[in-house]
């Protein structure tokens, strides 16, 4: 996994870049939470389920089907999220899938079971620049700092650039839109 600090950043940055008219605050918050949700599968360790099991870590909760199901729940709750069902579906599914995409870009652990339940094969992206995070007991160590530095380089800074770039672009376009 990447750290829990890092997982919601891409969806947060994209939401801030698009602005509240496209992604209302409630939808943004829901996306933030859903980008964290797949790692609830860490509970599997408590029940003695092996990491490599389809119900273990980076298992079914990291699949595209799970992301799609979360999207459907988002669409059903679209009134609560202050948007239409299609937008809620797309955003929530994207937020959930963004989690396993980041995991698949890490350089350790097992890959993610994207195609569950049709395949239990574990997948990584061809390019894996992010150092894998140790589990919580190993986090406050030299290795933990190296992971944070890696995430800062490959996730935090690009996300900051995306959010600020999007906000700047919206700021530039706004006066023109108002003048039209």
Dihedral sign for Cα 142, 106, 71, 39, please: negative
Residue 132 is classified by DSSP as P
Q: Residue 31 CB, nearest distance to Zn ion (Å)? A: 16
Residue 51 is classified by DSSP as T
Per DSSP, the three-state class of 112 is strand
Please report whether residue 151 would count as binding Zn ion according to CB under 5 A: no
| Residue among 85 and 144 whose Cβ is closer to Zn ion | 144
| Residue among 85 and 111 whose Cβ is closer to Zn ion | 111
Q: Residue 32 CB, nearest distance to Zn ion (Å)? A: 15
Among 103, 105, 116, 148, binds Zn ion (CB under 5 A): 103
Binders in 16-35 for Zn ion, by CB under 5 A: none
User: Among 1-9, 10-18, 74-82, 151-159, which window interacts with Zn ion (CB under 5 A)?
Assistant: 1-9
| Residue among 36 and 77 whose Cβ is closer to Zn ion | 36
Contact 122, 129 (CB under 8 A): no
Please report whether residue 1 would count as binding Zn ion according to CB under 5 A: yes
**Beta-carbon count within 10 A of 45 CB:** 13
Q: Give the DSSP H or E segment for 162.
A: helix 157-179
Among 17, 39, 96, 159, binds Zn ion (CB under 5 A): 39
| Residue among 38 and 134 whose Cβ is closer to Zn ion | 38
Nearest-CA neighbor of 12 among 3, 150, 25?
A: 25
Please report whether residue 9 would count as binding Zn ion according to CB under 5 A: no
| Residue among 15 and 38 whose Cβ is closer to Zn ion | 38
The token duo for 4 is: 């829990």
**Beta-carbon count within 10 A of 163 CB:** 19
> Interface residues with Zn ion (CB under 5 A)?
1, 38-39, 103
């Amino acid at each position: 996994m990447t750290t829990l600090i890092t997982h919601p950043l891409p969806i947060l940055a994209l939401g801030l870049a698009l602005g509240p008219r496209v992604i209302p605050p409630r939808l943004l918050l829901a996306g933030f939470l859903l980008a964290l949700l797949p790692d609830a599968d860490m509970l599997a360790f408590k029940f003695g389920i092996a990491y490599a099991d389809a119900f273990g870590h980076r298992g079914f909760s990291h699949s595209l089907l799970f992301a799609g199901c979360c999207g459907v729940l988002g669409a059903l709750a679209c009134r609560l999220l202050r948007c239409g069902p299609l937008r809620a579906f797309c955003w929530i599914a994207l937020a959930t899938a963004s989690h396993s995409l980041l995991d698949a870009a890490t350089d350790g652990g097992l890959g993610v079971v994207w195609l569950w339940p049709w395949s239990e094969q574990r997948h990584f992206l061809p390019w894996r620049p992010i150092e894998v995070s140790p589990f919580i007991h190993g986090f406050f160590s030299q290795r933990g700092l190296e992971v944070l530095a890696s995430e800062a380089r490959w996730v935090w800074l690009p996300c900051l650039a995306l959010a600020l770039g999007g906000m700047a672009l919206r700021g530039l376009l706004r006066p023109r839109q108002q003048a039209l």
